A and B are shown apart, each in its own frame.
Chain A
Amino acid sequence: MIKVGPEDSIPQRIEPLTNKSINWAGDKFFWIFYVWIIFGFRIFLWMIGIEDSAAAWTATNIVHSVVTFFAFHWIKGTPFSYDQGIYDKLTFWEQIDCEIQNTWTRKFLLIIPIVLLLITCNHTKQNTSLMMVNVFFASFVIIGKFPAMHRVRILGINK
């Protein structure tokens, strides 16, 4: 595992947060929207006629995992050029709250995939292999949010 070192000094004491690409992550409206869109997807699947709740929840879980892994843990840097690239090596997740771990924003964003996984496991009681698939996909996003994985790049991927 290769650790991406803090070569550039990223200001730790910025209040208010000036990193506009993530300072909306603490907004409660964003939290509500996030939960709403997950359930919205599930309801959408119900509306287009997928009756099998296990399959629908699995689909929700997998789509959520893939999308949030890409958005939170793969894309690095910010879409703005005025910060001169100091966040260029950090993913969205690592930039939240100026790299402070275990803030409530991070805890919330960590709860969501775990709770989603629990719900999905509950619905796939009969089908163990489907549950394993769910666990596999969700584990990417859950493990990526551990504090121990801050600034860690496994095997140099996405350095």
Chain B
Amino acid sequence: MIYIVEFIVTAFRESPYHVITEIFFAVLLLVLLLQKAHNPTKEKPLTKKEEDELIAEWEPEPLSRPLNEEEKWELSTIPLIESKPGIMVTMNGKKTLNFGSYNFLGVVDLPEFTEAAKKEIYKYGVGTCGPRGFYGTLQIHLDLEQRLAKFMGTPEAILYAYGFATISSAIPTLAKRGDVIFCDEGVSFAVQTGVTLSRSKVYYFRHNDVDHLEEFLKLQDEIDQKYSCRLAIEESLSLGVLGKTERGICEYYNISRDAVECTTSSLGNAFSSVGGFCCGSAIVVKQQTLLGAGYCFSASLPALLCGSSLKVLDILEHNEKIEGPDNIFSKLKTLSLHFRAELAGIHGLEVAGDPSVPLVHLRLNSKTSQKNRHKNERILQEIVNKCFESEYPLGLTRAKYSEEEYLMPPPSIRICISASHSKEQLTKAAQVLKKVAESVFRDGISFDNELNSNEINSNNLDN
């Protein structure tokens, strides 16, 4: 021990800085070696007693938890559909005028539409029994993809078997972790799922607020020093509805489809089929054949549904040659304007949406709307029920949303006008709606004990 001290002292006399440095680093070494490994995630192991306690007090959760009152009521409002959802649909045993299906083109009632599907059943059977990469590709898939690409005016298109999965598979192939997505607040839940799955940084801008988007883009510009963005549009509700030849929103606003990187649409709405497609440049589409989760890992679209989509494309192409009031787009426009004009002055409700669009949302106006969303849903459901029970039964539905939506739209009755509706049907329907709304807001609604019906009456004013 003494020798060490002697040694250090002599060394210190020789070269003091050297010894100081060495001792400093030696001490540092010891200090750092003695520090405990810091693992914040590892939990302390439990003692036997604690383990036994936890096991004793554990109660298994039910496989499906019991529904609460609101959910039970919601379930009870779902009607039973007993016929094909054409213009007339049999709901809960009664034949009603169908306003709930997205049957914009009115093809569901056409005999050639079902014949096209039947023909494919006889040829291909019912299911494809495989994903596109594993014996699931049929000639009709390729035909439909080509036809869709030609219809939309893009180089290529790709078909998905499930409308929701279309956009939520397409977006992650275009953007990934580290990328930035600017998304409208009011997009559908499928788009929200897609942007979440992409793991990119998402900025939601206020619905239809271009200035807010521009603020975000300017911010990004500062970061990136460039202003390049790619546009992806989800056209489930605008394809087959907007545009002189029903080619969607680009035609409606006279923009070239080349400005859009990737367009997706569900075939379940205007096309009255099942599935979805995405169209764009060859790179965008071919990327999805490898990376699109819904394409690679789900069974492909059954041939009968491809057949019916092809038939709808035939109908739309035939429709291009028709000018004047029989053209589907002008029919939809006149019917929508007519219906909204007939609905003017309805008690307690406001008619939302662009006037020439066949999708009408009836919402409670500021005077009749309650603070509690469930109460609002009840009021609207009462209107729906009374319309169902009137002497001219209407098949209405409330708009349904997922609980996980980014922006929850206000509760509404969603009315879909079809090109096969006639003006008289819409006039009568509007009259029924007005009568029912008047009676509901005049008489109040019988709620369960927790909801106070007096609140409805006191809020009722003329219009």
Interface residues of A (CB under 8 A from B): 8, 12-13, 84-86, 88, 100-104, 107, 110-111, 114-115, 117-118, 121-122, 124-126, 128, 131-132, 135, 142, 146-147
Given A102-B35, A102-B38: A131 and B18 interface contact (C-beta under 8 Å): yes
Complex Cα gap A147–B28 (Å):
13
5 A-B pairs in the complex with CB atoms less than 8 angstroms apart = A100-B38, A100-B41, A103-B37, A114-B25, A147-B38
B1-53 contacts to A (CB < 8 Å): 11, 14-15, 17-18, 21-22, 25-26, 28-29, 32-33, 35-41
Not counting A102-B38, A114-B29, A115-B29, a sample of 5 additional A-B residue pairs whose C-beta atoms are within 8 angstroms of each other reads: A107-B33, A118-B29, A121-B22, A128-B15, A128-B18
Which residues of chain A have C-beta atoms less than 8 A from B18's C-beta? Answer: 121, 124-125, 128, 131
- B38 and A131 contacting across the interface, CB-CB below 8 Å: no
B residues within 8 A CB of A107? 32-33
Query: Which residues of chain B from 369 to 423 have a CB within 8 Å of any chain A CB?
Result: none
Which of B26, B32, B39, B199 lies in contact with A118, CB distance below 8 A?
A: B26
A111 close to B33 (CB less than 8 A): yes
A104 and B37 in contact, given A85-B177, A128-B17 (Cβ under 8 angstroms): yes
Chain B contact residue count (CB 8 A cutoff):
24
Taking a contact as CB atoms under 8 Å apart, the answer to whether A88 and B178 are in contact is yes
For the complex formed, measure the closest distance between the CB of B416 and the CB atoms of chain A, giving whole angstroms: 40
| Nearest-Cβ distance from residue B174 to partner chain A, whole angstroms | 14
Please, how many angstroms separate the alpha-carbon atoms of A119 and B337 in the complex? 90
Docked complex Cα distance between A114 and B32 (Å)? 11
- How many angstroms between the C-alpha atoms of A146 and B35 in the bound complex? 11
Shortest Cβ gap from B24 to chain A (Å) = 9
Q: Are the C-beta atoms of B21 and A111 separated by less than 8 Å? A: no
Q: Which residue of B is nearest A138, CB measured?
A: B25
Instruction: Point out the residues of chain B lying under 8 angstroms from A135, CB to CB.
Output: 21
Min CB gap A64→B, angstroms: 15
Q: A13-B41, A114-B28, A114-B29 are in contact. Are A84 and B22 (CB under 8 A)?
A: no
Contacting residue for B37 out of A88, A101, A142, CB 8 A:
A101
> Which residue of A is nearest B15, CB measured?
A125
8 nearest interchain CB pairs?
A12-B41, A101-B38, A102-B37, A100-B39, A114-B29, A84-B177, A102-B35, A103-B37
| B176 located at the interface, meaning its Cβ lies under 8 Å from any Cβ of chain A in the complex | yes
Q: Which residues of B contact A118 (CB under 8 A)?
A: 22, 25-26, 29
Contacts of A88 in B (CB 8 A): 178
Which residues of A are found within 8 Å of B22, using beta-carbon distances? 118, 121-122
Would you call B21 and A121 a contact (CB within 8 A)? yes
Q: Closest Cβ of chain B: how far from A123's Cβ, in Å?
A: 10
Nearest chain A residue, comparing its CB with the CB of B26: A118
Residue of A nearest to B39 (CB): A100
Kindly provide the distance from the CB of A147 to the nearest chain B CB, expressed in whole angstroms.
7
A residues less than 8 Å from B25 (CB atoms): 114, 117-118, 121
Shortest CB-to-CB span from A138 to chain B, Å, is 9
Report the Cα distance A117→B40, complex, angstroms: 32
CA A49 to CA B29, docked complex, whole Å: 33
Within 8 A of A (CB), among B69-118: none
Q: Which residue of B has the minimal Cβ distance to A121?
A: B22
Quick one: closest B residue to A128, CB to CB? B17
A118 to B27, CA, bound (A): 11
Minimum Cβ distance to chain B for residue A99 (Å): 9
CB <8 Å contact, A147 and B35: yes
Whether B176 pairs with A85 at a CB distance below 8 angstroms is yes
Beta-carbon contact of A131 and B177 below 8 Å: no
* Interface membership of chain B positions 170-190, coded 1 if the CB is closer than 8 angstroms to chain A and 0 otherwise: 000000111000000000000
B37 & A126 in contact (Cβ 8 Å cutoff): no
Q: Is the CB of B29 within 8 A of A85?
A: no
CB distance from A14 to the nearest CB of B (A): 10
Within the complex, which residue of B28, B36, B41, B177 is in contact with A102, where a contact is CB–CB below 8 Å? B36
A104 to B32, CA, bound (A): 11
CA distance A125 to B14 in the complex (A): 9
Q: Which residue of A lies closest to B28 (CB)?
A: A114
Bound CA span A105–B28, Å: 17
> Are B38 and A126 interface neighbours, CB within 8 A?
no
Q: Please indicate the chain B residues that have their CB under 8 angstroms from the CB of A103 in the complex.
A: 37, 39
A54 to chain B, nearest CB (A): 11
Closest to A131 in B: B18
Residues from chain B with Cβ under 8 Å of A86 in the complex: 177
Compute how far the CA of A142 lies from the CA of B11 in the bound complex, rounded to whole angstroms.
25
B278 to chain A, nearest CB (A): 22
A84 to B172, CA, bound (A): 12
Kindly list chain B residues whose C-beta atoms are within 8 Å of the C-beta of A102. 35-38
In the complex the two chains form, what is the Cα distance from A118 to B40 in whole Å? 33
Q: How many angstroms from the CA of A110 to the CA of B177 in the assembled complex?
A: 33
User: Once the chains are docked, how many angstroms separate the CA of A147 from the CA of B18?
Assistant: 27
Q: When the two chains form their complex, are residues B176 and A100 in contact, meaning their CB atoms are under 8 A apart?
A: no
A131 with B35: CB separation less than 8 A: no
Give the residues in chain A near B17, CB-CB below 8 Å: 128, 131-132
Give CA–CA (A122, B15) in the complex, Å: 11
- What CA separation (Å) do A115 and B30 show in the bound complex? 11
Closest Cβ of chain B to A66, distance in Å, is 19
How far, in whole Å, are A57 and B26 apart by their CA atoms in the complex?
A: 18
Chain A: minimal CB distance from B65 (Å): 28
